[in-house]
Amino acid sequence: MSDDDTATEELNAVADAALDHMEALAAENASLKEQVLRFAADAENTKRRAEREANDARAYAIQKFARDLLTVADTLGRALTAPPAIDDPAVKNFLIGVEMTEKALLSAFETNGLKRIDPVKGTKFDPHQHQAMMEQVSDEVGAGAVIQTLQPGYDLLGRLVRPAMVVVAAKGSTGELAADPQGSNPYIAHDEAEAETGGAFDTRA
């Protein structure tokens, strides 16, 4: 074998070794990249789980307190429902004070994640947010729609504290079909799986 052939074989051997080394580096790089992506996904999942657990702990801690405060909000709301026509300035100022107190309380609710559920007429009945107290035939809304809200409900950080008590249009109602609850009530935002069960009535006492 000539010197040229020997040199060629040596060069080929070096080239093959270099190629094998490059392939090994590429495989190692791909493996490291996969590990980085996996670690990043684990970190994101851990962060989301921690946030969810923190929200759950917060909601659990203040849920009973919030439910007790709802009685106060209901009382203030009833006091402001169709107040009598009174000319006495002192009484008028008193009613203004009650109204301001209610607004301040509702604002505090909102700030702390306690959202009011008050579906308007025509909103589709949602068993996840509403409690049907009675059914009536209506010529204003279609079957399965809310006719009237008897008592607003509240949601605390994604947990239902109290459903809205409503009157629902019964079968045979001739009004317009129920509106999309997500469009009519900003506090209702369920996924498609939940929406599939939206036709059932919740008649919990």
What the block records as the tokens of 119 is: 């579906």
pLDDT tens string, the chain, 205 residues long: the values are 566 667 777 777 777 788 888 888 888 888 899 889 999 999 999 999 998 888 777 777 778 888 888 988 888 888 887 666 677 788 888 888 888 998 999 888 888 888 899 999 999 999 999 999 999 999 899 999 999 999 999 998 788 999 999 999 999 888 776 544 444 433 333 333 333 333 333 433 3
pLDDT at 146: 95
Q: Residue 148: what residue type?
A: Q
Whole-number pLDDT of residue 178: 53
Give the list of residues 6+ apart from residue 154 with CB closer than 8 angstroms, or none.
66, 70, 109, 114, 115, 116, 117, 160, 161, 162
Enter the pTM of the model. 0.54
Strand residues in the chain grouped as ranges (E): 114-117, 130-136, 146-151, 153-156, 159-162, 164-169
Which domains does the chain show, CATH number per domain? Answer: 3-111 (3.90.20), 116-195 (2.30.22.10)
Closest CA to 118 of 62, 166, 65, 169: 166
Q: Is residue 124 classed as helix, strand or coil in its secondary structure?
A: strand
- Residue 170: Cβ within 10 Å count: 16
Residues contacting 177, CB < 8 A, separation 6+ = 142, 145
Q: Can you give the pLDDT at residue 90?
A: 84
Beta 153-156 vs 114-117: how paired, if at all?
Answer: antiparallel
